[in-house]
């Protein structure tokens, strides 16, 4: 019964989210500064599914984790964050403020369908984990809930607020660090500095900063990373902080290349932000 209720809850939650997105795209053509009917319906649905998952956990406990490997939950959210990097390139580029030219068809496709991908990633991860009260689960569900709140803001002006978006992106840092720390596997510095490196390379360029400030932040990041690994006696493992950026940018590059080579016209374009 645990498996049946977990999969049923996930499928219904995912289907509900996709229907809400489809209806919003049909009903609304412009963004608004107020919450409209579908926004409230979307939000209410997420709340009801959270309550359902909470009850399901406390009766049967197991989520989707009993049937699928953990890498699928981690990978779904990782893919979502990588697609966000691509969606935000017109405003901040991909590397140190550069790389704003994207294949036209990629931009059109990501803008049109990213909501379906993101809500799948979120609902899948949400139902993968039981609603337990460990520190890792608590911050994980907090992160998931604010991301689901973002989905409920579809066609609301705040949905595309650049400062709100970057907050959602960097919330992965405390989440990953706390989970790794409480697992006791000594990998928390890799997550801390790996995701922070993505911030330094790409995300911080959301903000309008003078070049010297950007350089100062990058140097400070490098010094703190070296200092932390030295203090922990793991300086020889410093290279591990490259794993997350290499994975993120490699997958982003593959997505760009796929659209560039397999899209009609194959011409890059600078989309309007």
- pLDDT of 46 above 60: yes
Q: What is the pLDDT of residue 267?
A: 52
pLDDT exceeding 70 applies to what percent of the chain?
96
Q: What is the pLDDT of residue 272?
A: 47
Instruction: Tell me what the pLDDT averaged over the chain comes to.
Output: 91
Nearest CA among 46, 94, 77 for reference residue 169: 77
- pLDDT of 205 above 60: yes
State how far the Cα of 260 lies from the Cα of 243, in Å rounded to an integer. Answer: 25
Q: Determine how many CB atoms are found less than 10 A away from the CB of residue 119.
A: 26
Q: 78 or 101: whose pLDDT is higher?
A: 78
State how far the Cα of 36 lies from the Cα of 40, in Å rounded to an integer. Answer: 7
Domains of the chain by residue range: 2-269
**Confidence bin at 259 (pLDDT 50/70/90):** confident
**Confidence bin at 266 (pLDDT 50/70/90):** low
């Amino acid at each position: 019964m645990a498996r049946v209720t977990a999969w049923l809850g996930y499928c219904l939650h995912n289907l509900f989210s996709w229907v809400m997105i489809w209806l919003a795209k049909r009903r609304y053509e412009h963004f608004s500064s107020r919450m409209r009917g579908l926004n409230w319906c979307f939000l209410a649905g997420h709340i009801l599914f959270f309550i359902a998952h909470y009850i399901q956990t406390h009766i049967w406990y197991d989520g989707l984790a009993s049937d699928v490997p953990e890498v699928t939950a981690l990978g779904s959210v990782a893919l979502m964050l990588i697609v966000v990097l691509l969606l935000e390139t017109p405003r901040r580029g991909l590397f140190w403020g550069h790389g704003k030219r994207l294949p036209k068809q990629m931009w059109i496709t990501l803008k049109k369908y990213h909501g379906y991908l993101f809500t799948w990633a979120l609902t899948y991860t949400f139902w993968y984990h039981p609603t337990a009260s460990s520190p890792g689960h608590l911050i994980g569900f907090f992160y998931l809930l604010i991301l689901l709140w973002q989905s409920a803001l579809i066609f609301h002006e705040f949905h595309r607020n650049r400062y709100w978006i970057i907050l959602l992106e960097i919330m992965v840092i405390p989440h990953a660090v706390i989970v790794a720390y409480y697992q006791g596997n000594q990998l928390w510095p890799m997550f801390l500095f790996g995701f922070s490196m993505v911030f330094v390379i790409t995300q911080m360029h959301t903000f309008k900063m003078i070049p010297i400030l950007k350089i100062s932040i990058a140097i400070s990041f490098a010094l703190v990373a070296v200092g932390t690994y030295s203090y922990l006696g793991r300086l020889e493992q410093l290279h591990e902080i490259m794993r997350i950026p290499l994975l993120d940018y490699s997958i982003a590059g593959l997505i760009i290349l796929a659209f560039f080579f397999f899209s009609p016209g194959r011409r890059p374009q600078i989309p309007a932000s």
